[in-house]
Amino acid sequence: MAYAYEACGEPILSVRNLEVSLKTSVGELKATRGISFDICPGETFAIVGESGCGKSISSMALMGLLPRIATARADRCVFDGQEILNLSRRKLSNIRGNTLSMIFQDPMTSLNPVYTIGDQLTEVFLRHGKGNRKQARERAVFLLERVGIKNAAERLGAYPHQLSGGLRQRVVIAMAMMCRPKLIIADEPTTALDVTVQMRTLALLAELQREFGLAIILITHDLGVVASLSDRVAVMYAGQIVETAPTRQLFADPTHPYTQGLIQCIPSYEPPNPDAELHTIPGMVPSLIGKQRGCAFRNRCSLAVDACGEGDEIALRELGEGHAYRCLQPHDALVANWRLLQGESA
């Protein structure tokens, strides 16, 4: 199966056919069309895609944080031996922040401005009955020091507005670590940060992961972040995983035409040809309202044929070693297309 690359024994999270739909005034919007993946303990799994592809809403569904207008269903959604989808609030709140925690994009909105960071850090610990106040405080100081905040004991009394954006995101990371989680869902953890701070924050995440054996789901739109941090990656387009592969493999042999286009249109650091146009993907994302048929990318794809619009969905094709893609074209035709794209920019 392409869902998990290595036989890692028991996956920490196993998702099969997760579907999230939103009721809107113009009809039902299928935010995800059946996504499946396994996360092994200690690995970083990146979900990459552009806005509206369903990457954030699927993690919201896992955390039980969907808005009221949304409904989620799945064949299977097992975290740490327990089915977590549509769990009661009470049961969910025993998991959230405990064995499963989340890091959001904007540290200014994910921290409460009227409580000190000490209060917010210890609250999680106390809420989940991990120990008394003294132990909570010790754990908070230990983690703040671990994420590189100097004078941690004093900083516990600081309010979020007294910290810079990079420090705030470090506090959020420390908070996610308070109860020794097995899995952290990081939704665009560095998008709101400056470039020099982004790199340090990613390096910190990688270190913490090695040290504590965490699994991370990294949700991002930035292929640079994917390349530098993740072990495996899933590329999402219009609510589907269109390609999944070990990260090295994805960049060495991008197979789905959307993945190829996405990699190609990054204004890369290397080729400085002043007259070369940046590669673009023509057209735009289709509407997700109503029933979807065939491949969602077909109207932007140079390789599309009539058959791409037929059937409920395009089947996932396996290439071995955990690499699979959702396209009718055979692998060698897609490899040829990638060479062509690269020739265009050279």
Partner 1 sequence: MLDTHADTILSLRDVEVTFPLRRGLFSKPGALHAVNRISLDVQRGEFISIVGESGCGKSTLAKTLLGLQPATAGTISINGKDLAAYSRKDLAHQVQPIFQDPYSSLNPRKSVASNIALPLILSENPPASEVRDRVREIMQMVSLPQRFEHTYPSQMSGGQRQRVAIARALITKPKILICDEPTSALDVSVQAQILNLLRDLSRRLNLTSIFISHDLSVVRHLTQRIAVMYLGRVVELGESEQVFNSPRHPYTQLLIRSILPPDPTHRLPTLVWDGGGPDPTNPPAGCHFNPRCRYAVDRCRVELPALVEADGQQVACHAWADPAKWRAAGGQIPQLS
Our finding on whether 186 is near partner 1 (CB under 8 A) is: no
For helices 133-146 and 165-177, give the axis angle rounded to 10 degrees.
130
Should residue 7 be labelled a site residue for partner 1 when binding is judged by CB under 8 A? no
Q: Total residues at the site for partner 1 (CB under 8 A)?
A: 49
Integer angstrom CA distances of residue 328 from 116, 197, 264: 55, 42, 21
Given the DSSP bridges, would you call strands 76-79 and 13-24 parallel, antiparallel or unpaired?
Answer: antiparallel
d(CA 227, CA 55): 17
Residue 277 makes contact with partner 1 by CB under 8 A: yes
Figure out which of the listed residues 132, 268, 302, 342 binds partner 1, where binding follows CB under 8 A: 268
Q: How far is C-alpha 229 from the chain's CA centre?
A: 12
Residue 224 is a binding residue for partner 1 (CB under 8 A): yes
Is 140 a binder of partner 1 (CB under 8 A)? no
Residue 145 touching partner 1 (CB under 8 A)? no
Residues 326 and 295: beta-carbon distance below 8 Å? yes
Contact between 50 and partner 1 per CB under 8 A: yes
Distance CA 318, CA 325 (A): 7
Residue given tokens 């590669």 in the structure block = 279
Q: Is residue 25 within the footprint of partner 1 (CB under 8 A)?
A: no
Q: Judging by DSSP bridges, how do beta strands 44-48 and 232-237 pair with one another?
A: parallel
Residue 263 binds partner 1 (CB under 8 A): yes
Q: Any idea what the Cα angle at residue 67 is, between residues 101 and 295, rounded to 5°?
A: 90
Find the binder of partner 1 among 63, 126, 206, 335 (CB under 8 A): 206
Q: Per-residue DSSP letters for 73-124?
A: E-SEEEETTEE-TT--HHHHHHHBTTTEEEE-S-HHHHS-TTS-HHHHHHHH
d(CA 228, CA 247): 9
Report, in Å, the least distance between residue 78 CB and partner 1: 29
Q: Does 269 bind partner 1 (CB under 8 A)?
A: yes
Residue in 9, 51, 88, 320 binding partner 1, rule: CB under 8 A: 51
Name the minimum Å distance from CB 21 to partner 1.
21
Q: Which of 8, 92, 126, 227 binds partner 1 (CB under 8 A)?
A: 227
**284 is a site residue for partner 1 (CB under 8 A):** yes
| Candidate residues 70, 197, 303, 335; the one interacting with partner 1 per rule CB under 8 A | 197
Q: Is 286 in the site for partner 1 (CB under 8 A)?
A: no
Closest CA to 216 of 177, 179, 184, 180: 184
Q: Is residue 61 within the footprint of partner 1 (CB under 8 A)? A: no
253 interacts with partner 1 by CB under 8 A: no
Minimum separation from the CB atom of position 22 to partner 1 (A):
17
Residue ranges that bind partner 1, judged by CB under 8 A: 50-51, 148, 150, 164-167, 194-200, 202-204, 206, 221-229, 247-248, 250-251, 261-263, 265-270, 272, 277-281, 284-285
